[in-house]
Amino acid sequence: MSVIQNVPGLRRFPVGPLWLVLPAVALLAVFFLFPMGRLFLLGVQDPATGAFTGEHYSRVFDTSVYWRILAITFRIAILTALFSVLLGYPLALWLSRMDSRRQALIALLVLLPFWTSYLVKTFAWMILLGNRGVLNTLFMDVGLIERPLRLMYNEFGVIIGMVHAMMPLAVLTMLPVMNGIDQRLALAAGTMGASRSQRFWLVYFPLSVPGAAAAGLLAFVTSLGFFIVPAFLGGRGQTMLAQAIITQVQELVNWSFAAVLASLLVITALASIWVYNKLFGLSVISGAESDDLPKRTSLLRTGGQRLLRFMAWVSAPFDRFRSPDGITNKKVSIYPLLALAFLVAPILVVFPIAFTSSNSLQFPPPGYSLRWFEQYLTSPVWISATLRSFGVAFATAFFATVLGGLAALALARSKSLWNGPIFALILAPMVVPRIVIAVGLFYLMAQMGLVATDAGLVIGHTLLAIPYCFITIGAVLKNYDWRLNQAAETLGAGRFTIMRRITLPLLRGGVVSAGLFAFVTSFDELTIAIFISGGLKTTLPKQMWDDMFLQLNPTLAAVSVVVLAIVTVILLVAQKIQK
């Protein structure tokens, strides 16, 4: 026999399935890995000579301002992650106990704030927390207070805005883990004599910990790179690292400093992921199946078990207030409803303001009118920004779905050693702080002449949307029966026909929702737009950001209502299709 025939599959698959990831990997290599590397180098090079130097780092660390910013960033990110998980855990638990139809319905109330743009959320909190905002007005009218409380431009304002922004992410991360816990385990523990608190703390809770930790990690890493909330709800004392980076790039044009700060941000994010991976493994986050046993050191294990026994003992006296299943209170669950109200209600405040007849953000509005919608629809600036956002979002949805989908297809079919690194690369834009991606892209695109072009924006947004499309389509592919392709092949279908008649129709739900998620990601995206969209022609979020800095006005509320309506419709369509 000839040598060629001895190589399995060589003739029929001249290119293995892994080649399908090439477009995505190429895009990420050029516009993600390369600029990140450049950015890192900028921080250790002399700008004039290019020689390596530790000067920028030592200057950053010599300045107490940056130490303070670093400390503040950590403090806010940790507090945000902590509160998001603590407040989100009972809500996720409550949701996980519902039958799947009802859960899908109620989870919309978490998904909606999750996909609502941070700008709209922040704008809503400004209406609520301001000196003459809704809450202060309300409290004074009731006579609770005499003078307005200072609710924003301080740490309280930042934390409440950040927790509101991060809690949906935390809940949506914990929910699949909790859904996966076999509910009969607690019952089984009961038959062995475990009390209600023991069932929860010794059986249910340990199984839910990987989800809670993943939620904390994602909330922490995302918070690290945040700037919208602290910029509007914080004071001088709440300046975070991302804001400092923006200042360095846009106002001081000090690339070396910006690079140092960006590198610190990335290193912190990666270090926390590394720690998480050591403790729990990344499979919870990526959704990949893992057969690994938990890699916990025995010290941590025994310590943890002791702590859980202590918790069970402490909470035992409250057992009689609990329902027989030992986990949820079957009567009226007040807390989950309050938590849902906290997530949804603040956003709704933009509706009355959008229809106000007044020039101010006064609440309740003295009268109602459509003048602010008229203002929005007749303003060439707003309309051109809206149209541009739509165009960019459509293009992003197309490219991200195709590239992410092909990558998911390739990794589902490939058993290569490269799968792991490629998987990590494709998901990386989700965990590397957006501000760093944006600054790196700005540096690269300025040289390539892509700044202020639609192409530049589409590339940037596609980078961010690829992980979502990859995960969404990958999840559908997991349940795909590949023998159907073989069956079609034996019946005479060629590769293209199989794709068109079998694979795509069966994956349609996943592909369409991937496209919709990519659309929303781009439509709401501000960070990259700040740097890449250019001065005159902007996108909708960039225009909102600029206006929110100049002056708060009811037009912003009208725009928020439009954005909310678009995102809600898209979300409902995606939900409908996925069923």
The contact set with another protein (CB under 8 A) reads 1, 5-6, 8-12, 481, 483-484, 486-494, 497, 501-502, 505-506
Cβ of residue 488: shortest distance to another protein, in angstroms? Answer: 7
User: Which is nearer to another protein, 421 or 505 (by Cβ)?
Assistant: 505
Take residue 350 and report the two structure tokens written for it.
Answer: 């933009």
Helix axes 298-315, 205-224, angle to 10 degrees: 110
Cβ of residue 503: shortest distance to another protein, in angstroms? Answer: 11
Cβ of residue 104: shortest distance to another protein, in angstroms? Answer: 21
Judge whether 88 and 167 are in contact, CB under 8 Å.
Answer: yes
Cβ of residue 508: shortest distance to another protein, in angstroms? Answer: 9
Cβ of residue 492: shortest distance to another protein, in angstroms? Answer: 4
User: Which is nearer to another protein, 189 or 502 (by Cβ)?
Assistant: 502
Helix axes 155-179, 100-115, angle to 10 degrees: 150
Cβ of residue 6: shortest distance to another protein, in angstroms? Answer: 6
User: Which is nearer to another protein, 68 or 508 (by Cβ)?
Assistant: 508
Bond from prior residue into 364 cis (ω within 30 degrees of 0): yes
CA angle 88, 96, 190 (to 5 degrees): 110
- In whole angstroms, what is the distance from residue 258 CA to residue 256 CA? 5
User: Which is nearer to another protein, 207 or 493 (by Cβ)?
Assistant: 493
Cβ of residue 476: shortest distance to another protein, in angstroms? Answer: 13
User: Which is nearer to another protein, 5 or 191 (by Cβ)?
Assistant: 5
Residue 304: phi, psi to the nearest 5? -60, -40
Judge whether 125 and 161 are in contact, CB under 8 Å.
Answer: yes
User: Which is nearer to another protein, 489 or 546 (by Cβ)?
Assistant: 489
Cβ of residue 405: shortest distance to another protein, in angstroms? Answer: 18
- In whole angstroms, what is the distance from residue 315 CA to residue 299 CA? 24
Cβ of residue 5: shortest distance to another protein, in angstroms? Answer: 6
C-alpha dist (Å) from residue 232 to 113, 119, 507: 19, 9, 42
Using a 10 angstrom Cβ sphere, with 0-12 exposed, 13-18 middle and 19 or more buried, the burial of residue 109 is: middle
**SS3 for 504-552, per residue?**
HHHHHHHHHHHHHHHHHHHHCCCHHHHHHCCCCCCCHHHHHHHHHHHCC
User: Which is nearer to another protein, 250 or 497 (by Cβ)?
Assistant: 497
User: Which is nearer to another protein, 384 or 416 (by Cβ)?
Assistant: 416
User: Which is nearer to another protein, 106 or 577 (by Cβ)?
Assistant: 577
C-alpha dist (Å) from residue 83 to 22, 29, 45, 89, 224: 40, 36, 40, 10, 15
In 180-254, which residue ranges form alpha helices assigned H by DSSP?
184-191, 196-198, 205-224, 228-233, 241-246
Cβ of residue 498: shortest distance to another protein, in angstroms? Answer: 9
User: Which is nearer to another protein, 156 or 480 (by Cβ)?
Assistant: 480
User: Which is nearer to another protein, 403 or 507 (by Cβ)?
Assistant: 507
Cβ of residue 1: shortest distance to another protein, in angstroms? Answer: 4
- In whole angstroms, what is the distance from residue 95 CA to residue 328 CA? 10
User: Which amino acid would we find at residue 210?
Assistant: P
- In whole angstroms, what is the distance from residue 389 CA to residue 387 CA? 5
SS3 of 279, please?
helix
CA within 13 Å, CB half, 352: 15
